[in-house]
Amino acid sequence: MEVDLTSSSGGSSYYDPLDDLTDYRPPRRQHWSNKAQFVLACVGYCVGLGNVWRFPYLCYKSGGGVFLVPYFIILVICGVPMLYMELAVGQYTRRGPIGALGQICPLFKGAGLASVVISFLMSTYYNVIIAYTLYYFFTAFKSDAPWSQCNNLWNTPQCWQPSKLLNISRPNKSRTPSEEFYEHKVLHMSDGIDNFGVIRWELAACLIVAWILVYFSIWKSVKSSGKVLYFTATFPYILIIAFLARALTLEGADLGLRYFFKPRWELLGDSKVWVHATAQNFNSIGIAFGSVISFSSYNRFNNQILVDTLAVSTINGVTSLLVGIFAFATIGNIATEQGTSVEDVLSDGPGLVFVVYPQAMAKMPASQLWAVLFFFMLLCLGMNSQFAIVEVVVTSIQDGFPNWIKKRLMCHEMLVLIVCVVSFLFGLPHITEGGIYFFQLVDHFAASISIMYLAFFEVIAISWFYGAHRLAKNVHEMTGRHPSLYFRFCWWIAAPVLIMAVWVFSLIDYEPPHYNNGEYKYPLWAEALGWFIASLSLLCIPAFAVIVFIRSEGNSFMEVSHTWGKLHNSVKSQMEECCVQCEPDKCIHTGASKEEIREMLETKHQPPLASRAPS
């Protein structure tokens, strides 16, 4: 493909083709110390809160076993191919999501910004879950777990403690001790989002501790977070297996497992099941959030991304099943003890983690030990998720403003500190007395509705506008092998069509957000606020497209389209045709010097240098 090396500046007497290459050359970048750190970073995100909290909860909310059908269909058609695609883009461009998508297709640079916006929003409330975890972790050291009894100051007359001796079913409108501890002691939960109340200062202190942990884990970028991941990404698996073995021995575990594995096929046509399955796939793997692109941008250029793709996606699927078995065995035990059905155990929000699990552990031998281990495991999982989410924001800012950061902030550590402080301030509304309603609202609009819209435009930008065939060439340049026809078919047709179909049907069957299984309906102003939060990311794509269109040369639409077409292909075609992954003095692939590359470009493209002299 011909590369347009025409300079837009008429004031220079000599055009240097290397000017284009230098402007777009990927910046010097740290690398993972070894391949294991990169894989652990991706696996750590997969086994983070996305799988331990969201997967069982969405599976439960979607009718149990039927959720597994669309979940694994979407994993095969969208999840695995798009993971491969994002790994390739990040590794080849060596930039975060904004810089990577901006190089590949300037018209869709807004998709990169949208992923950063979503990651920032998620960082503000994911760390709130870590704050809850710290609160429970410190409380678990008490000899008598306060979530196991009804004789505390915060308990109400509706508090009901199940007893095997009496064998009484749970009365209507009763509350378990763990529910009342969570809602009345931890949250001081108000009656609605209209009443935010005051900040819960115990939770604020825990939130500060959570952000301090995040800061000192990523302040040296991948050099520090990579070392932390050796522990936080592997240790939780030991505890998950231990909890799984214990949960399978609980009375009523078979009841929960039947609910988990037995599909209710009539629900397969419900669009909400497919929406939840799609959102969970993207949440658990990190698709469209920018974390995969950010992580892979620190890889070596010749890293074998197919191996990483298969390893991460397989571990993600297996982990989902293991956590699901553990969760539903526990839910079955609680349903048996309370004399209720499995469908009546859970409420909305992070209740699975902070209501159901503590209630089950309170009945175990050595319950205090199990509780301490469980919440320590949850802390590790939350940190894994938070590393990835915050790294997206930090990497994107660093790629976008390298000179400003170097001059004003002086060091990477100061940038990380500013991001953590700002995220902490935005997280404060979540820890007010009405914060759980706001938490649920943001999670619904930022992590479900927005992410499918973003994923669609990302795959369109890369596979259609940039070209699946050209991405395949880039993969071959890095790894020595072309992606299979299966991957290219999914990039080009299957993934965009499936994502668009799910997204459209989700809008057709749209239901206003609610809390506690529909008992609380959000007011109209809160729903409008939710759509405003969603629009912060949704509008990035058309807004940037308009800006690029306006700034493009040409007086007519066709002229602008032609100019843009050359623009969006220029960087990659240069990199393909002359191998310009350049270090300061030479190409890292061919060893050619700057002078040799310049001579090659001038000979091949013969730019009209004389005509560029000022008139």
593, β-bridge pairs: 586
**CB of 102 within 8 A of CB of 501?**
no
Do residues 99 and 112 touch, judged by C-beta distance below 8 A? yes
CA atoms of 521 and 54, how far apart (whole Å): 21
CA distance 94 to 293: 9
Distance CA 292, CA 36 (A): 15
Spatial contact of 297 and 395, defined as CB atoms under 8 Å apart:
yes
CB neighbourhood size of 169 (10 A): 10
**What is the residue type of 319?**
T
Asked whether residue 556 is marked as a ligand-binding residue, the answer is: no
Is 517 annotated for ligand binding? no
The Cα 339–Cα 341 span in angstroms is: 7
User: Are the beta carbons of 437 and 522 closer than 8 angstroms?
Assistant: yes
The answer on whether 44 is annotated among ligand-binding residues is yes
47 is an annotated ligand-binding site residue: yes
| Consecutive H or E run containing 386 | helix 367-400
Is 151 annotated as a binding-site member? no
Q: Do the annotations mark residue 222 as ligand-binding?
A: no
Cβ neighbours, 10 Å, residue 16: 17
Rounded to whole angstroms, the Cα distance separating 231 from 240 reads 14
Query: Which spans in 75-219 are helix H?
Result: 80-93, 97-104, 109-139, 177-180, 201-218
96 is in an annotated binding site: no
Residue 560 contacts by C-beta under 8 Å, 6 or more apart in sequence? 549, 552, 553, 554
Residues flagged as binding site for Na(+): 44, 47, 51, 284, 316, 381, 385
Residues flagged as binding site: 44, 47, 51, 284, 316, 381, 385
